[in-house]
Amino acid sequence: MNNHIELLFKKYIANDCTSVEAAELIDIIRSGNQKELIESLMQEQLGNAATDELLFKAASDRVFKRLDLSNTEEQVLPIGARRLPTYIKVAAAIIVIAVSSVAMYFLFSSGKKTTPVMVAMQDIAPGGNKATLVLSDGKQVVLNDIGVGNITEDGGAIIKKSADGQLAYYSTDNSQNHKAINTVKTPMGGQYQVVLPDGSKVRLNAASSITYPAAFNSDERRVTLTGEAYFEITHLTKNNRKVPFIVETGRQKIEVLGTRFNVNAYDDEKGITTTLVEGKVKVTTENETVILKPNQELNLRDEGITTHKVDVETVIDWTNGDFNFADEDMKSVMRKIARWYNVEVVYDSNIPDVNLSAQISRDRNLSEVLRMLELSGDAQFRIENGAIHISNKTK
C-alpha cells in the first residue's frame, strides 16, 4: 500500500497523474490515515531544506487542515460549461502548495541560503495602505497623508481615520443627506479598510473603488464596486424590517442581509467572481438569480454562470496578507502581482500554459516573490525598469 501511495504522490508532483489517480490520492490524504507517510514524501521532495522537525510539523499541519474539503459537490447552471470536480482540482493543488510553500517557509524564514535560481535584478517593495477619499463636493483627500482623528464632515456624518488606519463614518442627528455620495479608491500597490455608515466593514484590494452614501437611507444600503473587495455586513433592521445591503458591479447585483463575502470585479479579469464565506447572498444578473451558500463561488462570464465549491481561504488570501496560488494559471497570478506591486508585466517569449502553486506573504519584496514562483514553474523572471519580464527557463 505504501509503495502505491508513494507512486501516486510522485506521479502527481511530476504532473503525470490521471484524474482518477489524482482523485484516489486526494481521498487518501483527506482520510488522514497516511499522514506520516505523506509528510515523509513531502520531506523527501524538500531534500535537506526541512531540517527543523518542529517547524516542518507546524507547517505541514496547516496544509493538512486545509484539506478538509468534504461535501465539495459542484453545481453548474444550465448555460455554463461543466468543469472537472472542483474538490479534486483544489485539493490536488494543495499538495503542490504543501511542497512549495513549506519549502519557502524554510528557505526564507529559517535563515537558510539556497543557490539562486534567478538572474540579478532590481527590486520593488510591496504595496501598502494607500487610498484617496472623494467627497460629495469633489474634494479629494489622500488618506495615507492624513493623521489619526477627524478628517471632515459630509452629508452630516463625521469621517475619521482610526489608529489602525481604517476610515470610519459616525452618524450624527443631521446625517440625513442621502445624496452626499463618497468614494474610496485605491491605486495600484494600495489597499484600504473602510467602516461604512452602518458599521459594515469593507477591505479594498489594489486598483479598486467603492462608492456609497455618507448616510444610508432606511430602505436599503447600496454601494457600487470596481475591482476587488471583502465585505463583512452588519445586520440592520428598521421598524422590525431587515434592511438589505446591495453591492452593484457593472454586470450583477448582490443582495445580502448579514454575511461575509468577497467580490472580484476587475475589468481585466475574464469575469466577475462572488465568493460566500458566511451567511447567504442573492446574486442577480441580466438573465439569472442565484442564491449562494457558504464556501460557494459564482463565476459570471460572457458564456454564462457557473457555481462551485471553493476553498475560501485561497480566495480571501489577500485579506490575510498572502498570495495563495492553488494551481492557478500564470497570467492570472501575474495580474495579481502587477496590481499589488504596481508594475507592468512583459512576456519576452511564448510562455507555456503552466499553472503555479505557492503560498507567499504579500509583505515580501517583489524579487523574493518571483524567486518563489520560479521554483514552482517553468518561467524565469527579471525586474527591469520597473517592469517584470518573463521568459522560458534555460535548460
Closest CA to 35 of 72, 69, 9, 74: 9
- In this model, does residue 63 exceed pLDDT 80? no
pLDDT band at 17; cut points 50, 70, 90: low
Query: What is the mean predicted confidence (pLDDT) over 2-25?
Result: 75
Average pLDDT score, the chain: 80
- In this model, does residue 385 exceed pLDDT 50? yes
Strands (E), 171-271: 181-185, 190-195, 201-204, 209-213, 221-232, 237-238, 241-242, 245-248, 253-256, 260-265
Closest CA to 6 of 36, 42, 41: 41
- Residue 74 · residue 83 · CB < 8 Å: yes
The residue behind cell 496560488 is 325
pLDDT band at 84; cut points 50, 70, 90: very low
Whole-angstrom Cα Rg for the chain: 23
Q: What is the pLDDT of residue 197?
A: 92
Q: What is the pLDDT of residue 390?
A: 92
Sorted by where each begins, the domain ranges of the chain are 2-109, 128-314, 321-392
Q: What is the pLDDT of residue 15?
A: 59
- Determine how many CB atoms are found less than 10 A away from the CB of residue 247: 26
- The secondary structure of 29-98 as a DSSP string is HHH-TTHHHHHHHHHHHHTTS---HHHHHHHHHHHHHTT--TT---B--TTSPP-S-HHHHHHHHHHHHH
Share of the chain above pLDDT 90, in %: 47
Structure-model confidence comparison of residues 332 and 74, the more confident one? 332
Q: What does the alpha-carbon distance between residue 155 and residue 25 come to, in Å, rounded to a whole number?
A: 58
Query: What is the mean predicted confidence (pLDDT) over 35-51?
Result: 65
- In this model, does residue 271 exceed pLDDT 80? yes
The two beta strands, 344-347 and 387-392, are parallel
pLDDT band at 64; cut points 50, 70, 90: low
Looking at the domain 128-314, which fold is it?
Jelly Rolls (2.60.120)
Query: What is the mean predicted confidence (pLDDT) over 175-185?
Result: 81
pLDDT digits (tens, 9 = 90+) for 334-378: 999 999 999 999 998 787 777 887 788 899 999 989 988 887 667
Structure-model confidence comparison of residues 17 and 323, the more confident one? 323
Q: What is the pLDDT of residue 61?
A: 56
Q: What is the pLDDT of residue 244?
A: 92
Looking at the domain 321-392, which fold is it?
Phage tail protein beta-alpha-beta fold (3.55.50)
Helix (H, G, I), strand (E, B) or coil at 19: helix
Comparing 26-30, 104-108, 252-256, 271-275, the range with the smallest average pLDDT is 104-108
Share of the chain above pLDDT 70, in %: 75
Query: What is the mean predicted confidence (pLDDT) over 43-63?
Result: 53
Q: What does the alpha-carbon distance between residue 97 and residue 83 come to, in Å, rounded to a whole number?
A: 22
C-alpha 213, offset from chain centre = 27
Q: What is the pLDDT of residue 81?
A: 31
- Residue 261 · residue 231 · CB < 8 Å: yes
Query: What is the mean predicted confidence (pLDDT) over 69-73?
Result: 43
Q: What does the alpha-carbon distance between residue 155 and residue 214 come to, in Å, rounded to a whole number?
A: 6
